[in-house]
Chain A
Amino acid sequence: MPALNTDLAARLSRELERSVLRAKNGIRVVSGSGKPRLGATPKDVVWQRDRAELWRYRASAVRYQPPVLFVHSLVSRSYIMDLRPGSSTVEFLLDRGFDVSMLDWGVPDERDADNTIETYVDEYLPAALAALQSETGCDEVTLVGYCLGGTFATLYAAGEESHVRNLVLLASPLDYSEMGAMVAAVLDGRLDPDEIVDETGNVPADLLYAAFFMQAPTTEIARYAMLLENLWNDEFVDAWQAMAQWSREQVPFPGAAMRQVVEELVRRNTLMTGTMRLKGRTVDFTNVRANVLNAMAERDNVVPLAAAEPASRLVGDPDRRDELRLSGGHVTFFAGRYARAHTLPTLASWLVARSDELDPAKER
């Protein structure tokens, strides 16, 4: 009987404590206060052009080279790779001794409306890489491209003068005809790109958010229910708020690049037919000399497996290609708790095996 009383008292005390935490975190969520710090890993801007910036994350020592450069997508904020301390892809790789940088495209405005795919692949990317080479003193690089950033990284790596040792593609589409609901409205000509650009000449961020939201509109119910159940858990609330903020913060898509994506990548599917041309060259994926890791998420409803999978067959040398199929969705497979336990250790091991170990580690 005394044991039962002690157990009951312990449960009551725990519930009381959780109720206080629920009230505190409930106010925090409703008022939008106490938001977690996002993209907080210390970094330096080492190159800048127009809105694009190259960030090099600070590290005390570097154990592996070549340096790792994240090439982010055009439609979302790059801090998803550096979400929160303890839940950051960038931090994970820094801790394992990599020299990590991020190519952030910034937030496009009227001045970027004429930016095309060439602007990103043939102008910004090579210029940022030249700056990275002079910063790190290393000629080669590991490119990690996410979503459309992966497509850009592949297009760059297929160029004659690229010095890409490793190419990691995270949920990166190659077969745009398989993009499903994301492109259905423009694929059959129901909507023309000119109808979705606003007065700035870009596709507005709100429209992009709506397109992502409408992929699975009712999941918000489940997300809020999970929040309610875990409202006592500070860590859960932090992660929930971080992800909620990121998923609402889309960025405008430059109009000219959108026209090109729709006409060439979606409607003519030039990446799959081998007819994509960039600045006078025809893109040939067999030109990619890098080791290639194609990482995909099995429950990705933004870039379905069928859209990402062709990279495993078409990009680079067949002997230097690897494929990683992971559980999770478009974001959760490389960000968050699952990623920390599964994706990131696999990614780091793959990179370690294809990088040079510096002995002793290089002080920075």
Chain B
Amino acid sequence: MNATPPPKQPLWLQLILRFERAIGVPVESAVRSDKYFDLVAHANRTRARLAELTEGLTQEWLHVFNLPAGSDVRRLREQLARVERQLGELAKDLERGRDE
């Protein structure tokens, strides 16, 4: 069986693919380095602290006007999810009890 040779790529595409590899290899090596992972961990903690700070400030203001803040809604959702999980567990226990 004769395999059809792949069509030749135009010069501009070859250049872009070569450029991509030329920058890709060092970038990939950088994002696999210990320094990068330290940076990711640090950035993640900073982001979390900033979010906490902003949340605290906006929550205070919203509560002055007796309005619920995003964190209040989140707490409600967490409570609802917990209730739903408990209901699910109860339903599973009932099912198991019926099977036995």
Contact = CB atoms under 8 A, between A and B. Distances in A.
- Are A and B bound to each other? yes
Contact of B20 (A110, A190, A218): A218
Interface in A40-86: 50
A214 B81 CA distance: 32
B65 to A, nearest CB: 23
Nearest to B40: A185
B95 to A, nearest CB: 10
Interface stretch (A152-160, A164-172, A195-203): A195-203
A181 interface: yes
B28 A50 contact: no
Interface string A108-123: 0111011000000001
B13 interface: yes
Contact of B13 (A196, A200, A229): A229
Contact of A218 (B27, B37, B44, B77): B27
Interface magnitude class on chain A: 20 to 34
B60 interface: no
Interface in A323-345: none
Contact of A110 (B38, B40, B45, B81): B81
Interface in B1-52: 9-10, 13, 16-17, 19-20, 23-24, 27-28, 31-32, 37-38, 40-41, 44-45, 48
Contact of B16 (A180, A181, A190, A221): A221
B85 A111 contact: yes
Given A50-B88, A215-B28, 15 more contacts: A110-B80, A110-B81, A110-B84, A111-B81, A111-B84, A114-B85, A188-B37, A191-B41, A216-B28, A218-B23, A221-B20, A222-B17, A225-B16, A225-B17, A229-B9
7 contacts: A185-B40, A188-B37, A190-B37, A195-B41, A216-B28, A218-B23, A219-B20
